[in-house]
Amino acid sequence: MQSICAFVTAANRLLFAIAAAIIFAVVPMLLYEVVARYVFDAPTVWAMEASTLVFGPHFMLAGPYLLHMRGHVAVDILSEKAADVPRKALEIFAFLVVAIFAAVFAKVSWPLAVNAWELGETSFSAWNPPVWWMKFIVPLAFVMLLAQALVEIVNVARAPSDEEAL
């Protein structure tokens, strides 16, 4: 079980690193667009849309590892003041809610991604790039979020209580 948990977290860490690297593609695209538009008065048809298409996966792929790092906003007013066992129960409940949310969205987004691939979906803009590939990032990100939430439930349940640590 521990090796599965380590594998899921490592996979999410890799996706997080990829998501962090994606930003290095967005900045030059937007810089190019700004210079082309305001210096040369020649705006592009692709730069804004391309940066949006790249920026979406940036957020989606970073989410599961941020869950592991506790990087998301958390309302921990109750759990912060709770004793060890109730605090663990509240944390497990919160991760369970995340897991259910991720499972529902993964299930709902998969047919949409498959449909987009089958149709060869494009953005229908002046540039009109294919967008079907990006639709597969959504169920992937939610499956990885589900897996990480389950790993966090295992980690919280396995962590020694305050009394056991003494």
In a structure prediction context, what are the per-residue pLDDT tens digits for the chain, which is 166 residues long?
788 989 999 999 999 998 888 888 888 888 999 999 999 998 888 888 888 888 888 888 888 998 888 777 666 666 677 677 778 888 899 899 999 999 999 999 999 999 999 998 988 788 888 888 889 999 999 999 999 999 999 998 887 766 555 4
Q: In the chain, how many domains are there?
A: 1
* pTM for this model (two decimals): 0.83
- The residue written with tokens 């990885």 in the block is 144
CA 81 – CA 83 distance, rounded (Å):
7
CA 11 – CA 144 distance, rounded (Å):
8
Contact assessment for residue 157 and residue 88, using Cβ atoms and an 8 Å cutoff: yes
Contact assessment for residue 155 and residue 5, using Cβ atoms and an 8 Å cutoff: yes
Residue 131, domain extent: 2-165
